[in-house]
Amino acid sequence: MWVWKKTMFSNTLFIGKKILRLASCASTNDFAAEVLSQNPHENGTLIITESQTQGRGQRGNIWEAESGKNLTFSVIFQPDSLLASDHFRLNMAVCLAIYDFLILFLEKNKVKIKWSNDIYFEDRKLGGVLIENTISEQKIRHSIIGIGLNINQLSFENPKAVSLTTLTNTAYNLENLLEKLGENLEKRILQIRQQNATLRAEYLQNLYWYQETHFFRIGNQEISGQILGIDQTGNLALQINQKIRYFSFKEIVFIK
Amino acid sequence: MKTDKIKEILQAIAASGLDEVNIETESLKLHVKRNSSTTYVESVVSKPVEVFSLPTAPASPVVSEIAESKKTEKATLVEAPAKNTVAVKSPMIGTFYRSSSPDSPVFVNVGDVIQKGKVVCIIEAMKLFNEIESEVSGRVVKVLVENASPVEYDQELFLVEPI
């Protein structure tokens, strides 16, 4: 069991002012939803577990089993008045927060955001994001932001997975990392509503395979194309044979 | 896309005997379903529409894939008078789901009395999951969209008769 020194974050306005620590749980997102059903006001509450038994949004859960080594947590965000159609801005903000955090330890131009919400170091996955919103009258009433990041785990069954430790040969104090990440998260979340914020530009700037030619599976075909950007709703824009085509998440698979 | 061109496609589909057809090109998304009111055409990119040619073989794999889920769905679709009803609309573009996972029960059925704030469906977009709450209290009289199908911004999803 982890030993934690702090009960809440010091340098944030709302994130992590209340932290719930669980030795084990099925999914921190599900637990957060449960917390919200008991108390409707939980803005910034953070739920973290050492071992998530049914983590979602990730394929090949095998490495998830190594408990106590990684960061798996959820943050409840209750925006004041954020339109449902802005939900992709929230996703971009969260991905950028993780990026901001990781480049404190890793080579800047090797950390990438794989569309739409995975975090990569070169061609290997370091973590991912799973956001679940509740929409009421066209607005996001609350958002559960689930984050999983591989930190101290030394080996992975999946050759495409990697951790901060294996990349830097350093063991990390998870409590300190979590607080730092919480600060990055808050900073980016506060940018969602700023129309002059450069969330989209920065998201693209750090996007995996951005403006590179690669192979994608579309339907039953493997097609060569180049990522040009994303549209307002988050669809991926690809240039294929001099034409621009837009894809939603299920319509396209990254190949090589 | 010109209206007569769409008519021509619709006639070709009608003659083909297929129940459901999805056609997608750079300039257009066409989703046609027989015996159902959901026929819509969506312009994907806002640029001059290119000459559109109907593929010789309509997307049959898609048809068979959807046909299965349609059968199970049919039973819950009950015709009801559209009087005094309020529509629950989609707040975003995405995929409509009636339950939180394939093996979970649906959030609402036709005939259910729901309170304002009751979660009626999930709209998934780019791996983001959005639970949609009803803005009205009342009785669900119609489910307008089939499970796992794409929805547009502001598209009507359910009809609710306020009580």
State the residue range of the domain holding B28: 3-42
Using CA atoms, how far apart are residues B66 and B149, in angstroms rounded to an integer? 9
Check A87 against B127: CB less than 8 A apart. Answer: no
Q: Are residues B29 and B92 in the same domain?
A: no
Check whether B6 has a pLDDT greater than 70.
no
Nearest-Cα distance to chain A for B29, in Å, is 11
Per mean pLDDT, which range of A121-135, B60-74, B130-144 is the poorest? Answer: B60-74
pLDDT value of residue A60: 41
Mean pLDDT of chain A: 92
**Tally of domains within chain A:** 2
pLDDT value of residue B43: 42
pLDDT value of residue A250: 84
* DSSP letter assigned to residue A233: T
pLDDT value of residue A233: 85
Q: Does the beta carbon of A218 lie under 8 angstroms from any beta carbon of chain B?
A: no
In a domain, residue A12? The reply is no
- How many angstroms from the chain centroid is the CA of residue A121? 14
Q: Are residues B35 and B94 in the same domain?
A: no
Nearest-Cα distance to chain B for A30, in Å, is 11
Check A133 against B26: CB less than 8 A apart. Answer: no
**Tally of domains within chain B:** 2
DSSP per position, chain B: --HHHHHHHHHHHHHHT-SEEEEE-SSEEEEEETTSS--EEEESS-SPPPP----SS--HHHHHHHHHHHHHHHTT------TT-EEEE-SSSEEEESSSSTTSPPS--TT-EE-TT-EEEEEEETTEEEEEE-SS-EEEEEE-S-TTEEE-TT-EEEEEEE-
Nearest-Cα distance to chain B for A169, in Å, is 32
pLDDT value of residue B49: 38
Confidence of residue A157 (pLDDT cuts 50, 70, 90): confident
Check whether A151 has a pLDDT greater than 50.
yes
Check A244 against B153: CB less than 8 A apart. Answer: no
pLDDT in tens, B78-128: 454 557 899 999 999 999 999 988 888 999 999 999 999 999 999 999 889
Per CB distance under 8 Å, which residues of B are interface residues toward A? 26, 44-45, 91-93, 95, 117, 119, 123, 125-133, 135, 150, 153
pLDDT value of residue A100: 98
pLDDT in tens, B20-69: 666 666 666 666 565 544 444 444 444 443 333 334 443 444 444 444 44
Which tokens belong to B75? 């039973």
Assessment of whether the complete model's pTM goes beyond 0.80 = no
CATH code at position B117: 2.40.50.100
Nearest to B153 among A85, A235, A248 (CB): A85
Q: Does the beta carbon of A166 lie under 8 angstroms from any beta carbon of chain B?
A: no
Q: Does the beta carbon of A131 lie under 8 angstroms from any beta carbon of chain B?
A: yes
Using CA atoms, how far apart are residues A170 and A104, in angstroms rounded to an integer? 13
B136, closest residue in chain A (CA to CA)? A137
Check whether A229 has a pLDDT greater than 50.
yes
In a domain, residue B87? The reply is yes
Closest alpha carbon to B151 in B108, B87, B103, B106: B87
- Name B30's Cβ contacts closer than 8 Å, sequence gap at least 6: B6, B9, B21, B22, B23, B24, B41, B42
Closest alpha carbon to B97 in B62, B71, B132, B67: B132
Our CA dihedral for A59, A64, A70, A73, rounded to 10 degrees, sits at 70
In a domain, residue B76? The reply is no
Confidence of residue A4 (pLDDT cuts 50, 70, 90): confident
pLDDT value of residue B142: 96
What is the residue whose two structure tokens read 């469906």?
A: B121
A29, closest residue in chain B (CA to CA)? B129
When comparing pLDDT for B46 and A203, which is higher? A203
Q: Are residues A181 and A217 in the same domain?
A: no
Per mean pLDDT, which range of A24-33, A220-229, B42-51, B148-157 is the poorest? Answer: B42-51
User: φ and ψ at A224, to 5 degrees?
Assistant: -85, 135
Q: Is the ipTM of this complex over 0.95?
A: no
Tell me the CA end-to-end span of chain A in Å, nearest whole number. 40
Q: Are residues B86 and B158 in the same domain?
A: yes
Using CA atoms, how far apart are residues A55 and A68, in angstroms rounded to an integer? 14
Check whether A88 has a pLDDT greater than 60.
yes
Q: Is the dihedral of CA A124, A26, A69, A156 positive or negative?
A: negative
User: φ and ψ at A185, to 5 degrees?
Assistant: -65, -45
